[in-house]
Amino acid sequence: MRADQQIQINGLLLQREELFVRVHDLEQAAAAILGEPYPFTRPPLPSDAKLKRKPTAPRAASAAPVSPAAVARESLRRLEGLETAYRVTYRRFGQVVTEDHDDLDALRTLLSSQGANLTVTRVETIDLGGRTKAVLLAAAP
Q: List, for residues 60-95, the tens digit of each pLDDT value.
A: 555 444 455 565 566 788 888 888 999 999 888 889
> 59: helix, coil or strand?
coil
Whether 74 and 124 map to the same domain: the answer is: yes
Residue 101 lies in a domain: yes
Residue type, 80: E
Whether 37 and 79 map to the same domain: the answer is: no
Residue 59 lies in a domain: no
Residue 46 lies in a domain: no
Query: What pLDDT band is residue 104 in, cutting at 50, 70 and 90?
Result: confident
Per-residue pLDDT at 76: 82
Per-residue pLDDT at 137: 86
Whether 80 and 130 map to the same domain: the answer is: yes
The residues facing 90 across adjacent strands are: 97, 120
> What is the rounded average pLDDT of the residues 108-120?
85
Residue 53 lies in a domain: no
> 4: helix, coil or strand?
helix
Q: List, for residues 88-103, the tens digit of each pLDDT value.
A: 998 888 899 899 988 8
Whether 37 and 84 map to the same domain: the answer is: no
Residue 50 lies in a domain: no
Domains held by the chain: number? 2
Residue 42 falls in which region: left (phi positive, over 0), alpha (psi -120 to 50) or beta: beta
Per-residue pLDDT at 64: 47
Residue 125 structural domain:
68-138
